[in-house]
């Protein structure tokens, strides 16, 4: 009996040790990649479009009438409050948050935006309700259980702004890009920009890189797109539609 108990403890110890090693390895690899990410400082980019810099991530605000629509919600709540003050934008003026996906570095500021409706793709909900895991057995969480689900190609009209949701699975199950007024494309982590060339996002962070690569091919020839905005590689109005896998 004692021998069996010792073997069980030994096996449990080995299992825990392996988990710790995997976690440390994942953390070090992730930090190395994040150091190479280039974000945009908090500022007005073009008419009615603002960037919010939050450590290694950006999210964006689009002015619509007298209010704002957020594309994602950042990585650090306190940092977001500080950056919004720089822009002289009150959190209560943000009336909608369009989540490209639900990873932690895209959702931290949700609770700041008390007047905002939260939107995400119908497929992404699987990472919130436990139907699918994001990392090993772990799913994603957001700071609200009140959100609206969007289907692929669905069009939203928020005040004076038309927005089309474009499903781009791969980075996560339900990653979604948003096309504003047929000209501004907000991609989250669906892709990365490298010297004006569109590339598949860092495979280390993707749930399915092959699917991610296939997904971005569907959106890269949308006529009339003037700007592409990413979460971790800035933005551009000069881009090559040739995609590097």
pLDDT at 30: 67
pLDDT at 44: 97
| Spatial strand order in the sheet of 161-167 | 155-158, 161-167, 176-180, 184-188, 227-230, 235-236
pLDDT at 26: 62
pLDDT at 135: 82
DSSP string covering 213-236, please? HHHHHTTTT-TT--EEEESSS-EE
DSSP string covering 51-96, please? EEEETTEEEEEEEETTEEEEES--S-HHHHHHHHHHHT--GGGEEE
Backbone angles phi, psi at 111, to 5 degrees: -70, -15
Averaged pLDDT in 10-residue chunks for the chain of 245 residues: 68 71 70 81 96 94 96 96 97 98 97 97 96 86 96 96 97 97 96 87 93 89 91 87 55
Instruction: Return the half-sphere exposure (C-beta side, CA atoms, 13 A cut-off) of residue 36.
Output: 9
pTM of the model: 0.90
């Amino acid at each position: 009996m004692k021998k069996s108990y010792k073997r069980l403890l030994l096996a449990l110890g080995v299992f825990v040790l392996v988990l710790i090693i995997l976690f440390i390895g994942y953390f070090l690899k992730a930090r190395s990649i994040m150091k190479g990410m280039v974000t945009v400082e908090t500022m007005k980019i073009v008419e009615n479009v603002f960037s919010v810099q939050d450590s290694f991530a950006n999210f964006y605000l689009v002015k619509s009438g007298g209010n704002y629509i957020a594309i994602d919600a950042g990585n650090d709540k306190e940092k977001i409050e500080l950056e919004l003050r720089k822009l002289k934008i009150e959190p209560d003026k943000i009336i909608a948050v369009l989540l490209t996906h639900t990873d932690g570095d895209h959702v931290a500021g949700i609770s700041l935006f008390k007047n905002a409706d939260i939107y995400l793709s119908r497929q992404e909900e699987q990472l919130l309700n436990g139907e699918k895991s994001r990392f090993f057995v772990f799913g994603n969480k957001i700071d609200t259980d009140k959100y609206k689900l969007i289907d692929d190609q669905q069009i939203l009209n928020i005040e004076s702004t038309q927005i089309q949701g474009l499903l781009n699975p791969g980075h996560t199950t339900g990653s979604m890009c948003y096309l504003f007024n047929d000209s501004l494309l907000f991609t989250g982590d669906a892709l990365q920009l490298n010297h004006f060339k569109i590339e598949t996002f860092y495979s280390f962070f993707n749930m399915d890189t092959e699917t991610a690569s296939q997904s971005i091919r569907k959106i890269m020839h949308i006529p009339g797109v003037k700007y592409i905005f990413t979460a971790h590689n800035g933005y551009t109005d000069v881009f090559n539609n040739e995609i590097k896998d």
